[in-house]
Structure 1
Amino acid sequence: MVIFINDRPIRLIKKSKNSSYPPMEDYDVILDARLKPIKIADFKGHTCLLNVGPDQIEKIITELHADKPFDFHSLYILTDQKKELKKRICSLYQVIEAAGGVVLNPQNDVLWIHRLGKWDLPKGKLEKNESFKYAAVREVLEECNVVAELKSKVCTTYHTYSFKNERILKKTKWYVMESKQSGKLKPQLEENIERVEWISQAKMNKAVSDTYSSIRYVIQQFIVNQSQIPSKV
């Protein structure tokens, strides 16, 4: 589980022999909740937390939403209580479900939108009784005027924001999608989308460097997944 709070990734990772997470030497700070109280002021660079319980995670999440400057890039929470911590975190928010896509054309260019001064990928909230997969296809059509076919799952992200003094946790499922369409791209202006572009994967740096951390994570997962697909002989 990866949650983005104020554009910082918070990774909740189950401790087990089979888990994949950075070796301890890759962290700038390692803090053990059993040894001393966890203080956000102690977070630096890439911080790893050990032995954090549900009450402690609630306090950490609440403090991360306080209007204070923080000096860390990412947070890894290694735990054998992942299910309990995830449940406690979700209880602190109104959870909204959404879906989006990494859409490819026949040249393997990626479909990007530019909205509110940032590059983004097409996505949107689920409508009543709608599935994630159907919503992903619908949102691409509505936001970009592109008909796309869903191919595979990329990842799930969680990011937070405030709306009318309420904390929102948006759960978004991302899919690889393909489109054979060569028609005119049409941004959904009422959703503050300024323009829509196909950008080649070789030139995506301009978009990736000016987007949100959660979208960079989606693109990273997409690239990893693509590299694991066996080459056709």
Structure 2
Amino acid sequence: MVIFIDDRPIKLINRKKKHSYPPMEDFDVIIDARLKPVKIADFKGHTCLLNVSVDEMGKIIEDLHGKKPFDFHSLYILTGIKKALKEKICSLYTVIEAAGGVVQNDADEVLWIYRLGKWDLPKGKLEKNEKFKKAAVREVEEECNVKATLVDKVCTTFHTYSHKNQRILKKTKWYSMRSKHTGKLIPQIEENIEKVEWLGPIAMNKAISDTYSSIRFVMIKFQETQIPSKV
């Protein structure tokens, strides 16, 4: 599970899966919750937490939503109770489900939207009783005027925001898609989308530098699926 709070990635990782996290020497700070109290002020750069309890996880989330400035880039939590920690995190929010797409055309350009001062990928909330895959295709068409065919699952992201004094945790499933669209791209103005563009590698690198950490994460996962497997 990767949850983005204030655009910082918080990663819950099963400590038995050593391939899922960087070498321990790559962390700037390692904190063992059994040896000292966990304080956000001690987080620096890329921080690793060990032996975090369910109650401590709840307190960490609460502290991350405080108004104090934080001086860390990412947080890895290596745990043997990943499921319990995930359930604790989700219990602190109203969970909303969404779906989105990384859409390529025949020139292998990627479909991007520009909204609220940031480049983004088309996505949106599920309608009542709607499946994730159907929602992803629908949102691409509604937000960009592009019909696309779903190819495969890319990843799932979680990010937080506030709405009407409620803390929201948006769970978004992302899919790779293909489109033969050659017509006009029409942004969904009522969703605050200013423009829709097919971006090639150079333009896309600029967009990636001016987007959210969660979208950069999606693009990393997408690019990993594009690497041909070795025979």
TM-score by length of 2: 0.98
Correspondence for 2:85: 85
User: In structure 1, what is the equivalent of residue 55 of structure 2?
Assistant: 55
Q: Which amino acid aligns with 2:39?
A: K
Following superposition, the deviation at residue 68 of structure 1 comes to: 1.0
Alpha-carbon distance, 1:228 to partner: 4.4
- Please give the secondary structure, in 2, of the residue aligned with 1:139: helix
Question: Secondary structure of the equivalent of 1:77?
Answer: strand
Given residue 53 of structure 2, which amino acid in structure 1 is its aligned partner? G
| Corresponding residue number in structure 2 for 1:100 | 100
2-structure distance, mates of 1:60, 1:18: 24
Q: Which residue of 2 aligns with 1:135?
A: 135
In structure 1, the partner of 2:203 is 203
- Structure 1 letter corresponding to 2:208: V
In structure 1, distance between residues paired with 2:203 and 2:164: 38
Match of 2:190 in 1: 190
- Give the unaligned 5+ runs of structure 1: none
Maintained 8 Å contact 1:4/1:160:
yes
Q: Secondary structure at the residue paired with 1:223?
A: helix
Counterparts of residues 9-28 of structure 1 (less than 5 Å): 9-17=9-17, 19-28=19-28
User: Which whole-Å CA distance do the structure 2 matches of 1:4 and 1:230 have between them?
Assistant: 33
8 Å contact from structure 1 (residues 12, 77) kept in 2: yes
Distance between the aligned counterparts of 2:191 and 2:109, measured in 1? 23
Q: Name the SS of the counterpart of 1:11 in structure 2.
A: strand
1:159 paired residue number: 159
Residue 118 (structure 2) pairs with residue 121 (structure 1): no
Distance in 2 (alpha carbons) for counterparts of 1:49 and 1:84: 16
Could you tell me how far apart the structure 1 residues matched to 2:35 and 2:184 are? 60
1:169 paired residue number: 169
Provide, for residues 94-153 of structure 1, a one-character-per-residue CA deviation record: whole Å limited to 9, x for no partner.
000000000000000000000000000000000000000000000000000000000000
Q: CA deviation at 1:202?
A: 4.0
Shift of the 107–230 alpha-carbon distance from structure 1 to 2, 3 Å rule, reads farther
Q: Distance in 2 between matches of 1:85 and 1:229?
A: 34
State the one-letter code of the partner of 2:128: K
Report 1:61-72 matches (<5 A): 61-72=61-72
**What secondary structure sits across from 2:226 in the alignment?**
helix
Matched AA of 1:173: K
1:108–1:201 Cα contact (<8 Å) kept = no
Letter in 1 for 2:191: E
Distance 1:229 1:7 in 2: 32
CA distance in 1, matches of 2:218, 2:164: 28
Following the alignment from structure 1 to structure 2, what is the Cα–Cα distance between the partners of residues 69 and 58? Answer: 19
Contact 1:15 1:79 in 2 (8 A): yes
Identity %: 71
Q: Provide the residue aligned with 1:30 in structure 2.
A: 30
Determine the C-alpha separation between the residues in 1 that align with 2:230 and 2:156: 23
> 1:18: how far off?
5.3
Which deviates the most, 166-175 or 12-21? Answer: 12-21
Structure 1 counterpart of 2:75, which letter? L
Q: Does structure 2 conserve the Cα–Cα contact (< 8 Å) formed by 1:5 and 1:159? A: yes
| 1:27-74 Cα shifts (integer Å, max 9, x gaps) | 000000010000000000000000001000000000000111000000
| Count of residue correspondences | 231
